[in-house]
Structure 1
């Protein structure tokens, strides 16, 4: 049976990985500056992670949410401590799309409204409401288009005010650093005014932290760079270091009800073990401090390269913008220099999303290769 052909693939076949490196079937070493879409937070095959998952799967890998699971409680407590999101409640699921789907559903349940405001170049997932709130008509099927969504420009505070005052908006959903869309951010004033408008109009402010969360921005969550209090925070990618897990943090003012949300696999024992290993490692190895130090070093080197027209993002969620499309450059980096990087809907942007354990020597290796290719382009 052939695979359904929906992914354009690079001719690389990873068979193992360790730390910030991936190895193919020929034992060729690749520097991973993309982390599988920012999923690899604490490094491939981190011993804490391997031990936790191995021990858990050998005892109890899964049982349903009909029974007590102390690992869920332990994970929630650790997440509260490290994130600083005091008294929020945690609902666990399996992916970023599912997290945003549940965030939007919760907002609609609680406000009694159905319309969503989202933003140009935003990406929130591929499930029904999440994809409808995503600014990409190519992945929205007619069944998704039945959702009521208004897409506004980032920083259009008058547009947000106008839409919310119509009284039918259940949620405003935003990535505080856009991922696939190209690392754009709005102003602090915009985010803070949106937060205030939401609270004045019985509308939930949803922080999509699926890619920007778990320390990647230099704080535990990207919204923490601003003076805002989201009603719901969605998380996933870096949460399990490769094991499928997602969740939403729910403000303590929001009351739960039996049956309101549910999932078969979400919060299973194995997922919680992976999630706890990630949080413990972030804490023990002070990885958020490393994010800030390595980000500062990366940006300082990038500023010395004249072909780089713009440096976007925060922390280790960075983009290098050129005056040419970077598709061929990415191929050169993969095939000639054995370095993984990422692209975006902005075809001139090279995305950098490495494990949070990255060191200066890895950054130096990347820039040496990048400079070589940029010199070749000029010649």
Structure 2
């Protein structure tokens, strides 16, 4: 038996990692500016993170949600405190797609409706409901096609209200900042308008903060850049566990819980909660929201001055930039010749940067120097 060949693999085999650095089996060092799809939030092998997990392993690593698990309450309390959502409840699961599935289910249960709105260039996961709301026909199987899903133009409130007025919409799901779509930042007026319209038409607003959450944008959640915005449901994962699989849904006090409404075998296990607590503790103690904001503002300004870079978007350390050449050969040169990991996106000419939030400025400076070299060479050989 062999792994099912569904991933286009980079010819690198990571062997160990620390901070923003990765070493392969030959001991060659790489700079990680992608964090394994925005997962590595506090750096590889952070000592507080590894100690938290080791200590938990000395006690208990797993039991199902059929028993009392006090560390879940500890995590919920800490997350509420750090995020500013202490009045919300927390449902724990294992991934971003699963978080979105449960948020969709909650919205549908609560409203009694089955229609959902999402947006062009949006990505919400690969499970049944989440992929149906993702704007990529290539990954939607016939089984996942639904006549009650409406993918509308991003930042178009008029289109949203027109669909909501039909009375069949349970919820609207939108990313705090679109990640796979190329780091598309929603207008503040668009997000505020969604909150007002969903309330007006008895629908739920779901903020998908799977990639844009956890201090990445300089706020704990990207939607917190919009004043007084309080979604009905907020989905989280990726940076939540710094590599340990965990996801969750923050649920507003308007929802009523009942036994059996949602469920998961592995979600909220002891080891996952220990990992997630370690992440929150490091974000708080190392002031990573502020560090992400400062480094993000600086590198975006520097990127905008580089010849060949045509546009720069994002907030904090969630950055996308367009070039006047295709991204694939640029990324290939960066990884193979200069040993720097970067990320792709739906945009042919777009590169994503999603580094650990505690990355050093010197590492970002090195990346800028190598990017200039690569773009200059690309132009000279075009």
TM-score normalised by L of structure 1: 0.99
Equivalent in the alignment of 2:356: 355
Which residue in 1 is equivalent to 2:208? 208
Partner of residue 28, structure 1 = 28
What is the Cα deviation at residue 157 of structure 1? 0.8
**Range with bigger deviation, 57-66 or 142-151:** 142-151
Structure 1 residue 147, shift from structure 2 partner:
5.9
Secondary structure of the equivalent of 1:202?
Answer: coil
Q: How does 1:262-281 map to 2 (within 5 A)?
A: 262-281=263-282
Aligned to 2:332: 331
> Is 2:165 aligned against 1:165?
yes
Partner of 2:250: 249
**CA apart distance, 1:66:** 0.9
Q: Residue 347 of structure 1: CA displacement?
A: 1.2
Structure-2 separation of matches of 1:373 and 1:267: 44
Give the CA deviation at 1:30.
0.3
Q: Distance in 2 between matches of 1:133 and 1:300?
A: 34
Quick one: distance in 2 between partners of 1:361 and 1:115?
48
Equivalent residue for 1:126? 126
Q: Aligned pair count?
A: 379
Taking a change above 3 Å as real, the CA distance of residues 147 and 48 of structure 1, as seen in their structure-2 partners, is: farther
In 1: Cα distance, 2:127 partner to 2:320 partner = 27
Please say if 1:141 is aligned against 2:151: no
Q: How does 1:59-208 map to 2 (within 5 A)?
A: 59-146=59-146, 148-208=148-208
Correspondence for 1:18: 18
User: How far apart are the structure 1 equivalents of 2:378 and 2:146?
Assistant: 46
Q: How far apart are residue 176 of structure 1 and its match? A: 2.0
1:45-60 alignment to 2 at 5 Å? 45-60=45-60
**Secondary structure of the structure 2 residue equivalent to 1:143:** helix
Distance 2:223 2:52 in 1: 30
TM-score (norm 2): 0.98
CA contact (8 A) 2:77 2:86 kept: no
Deviation at 1:156, TM superposition (A): 1.2
Kindly state the Cα deviation for residue 302 of structure 1 after the two structures are TM-superposed.
Answer: 1.1
- Alpha-carbon RMSD across the aligned residues, in angstroms, is 0.8
CA drift of 1:303 comes to: 2.2
Structure 2 unaligned segments of length 5 or more: list them. Answer: none
Q: Which moved more, 1:322-331 or 1:230-239?
A: 322-331
Runs (4 or more) in structure 1 with deviation over 2 Å come to: none
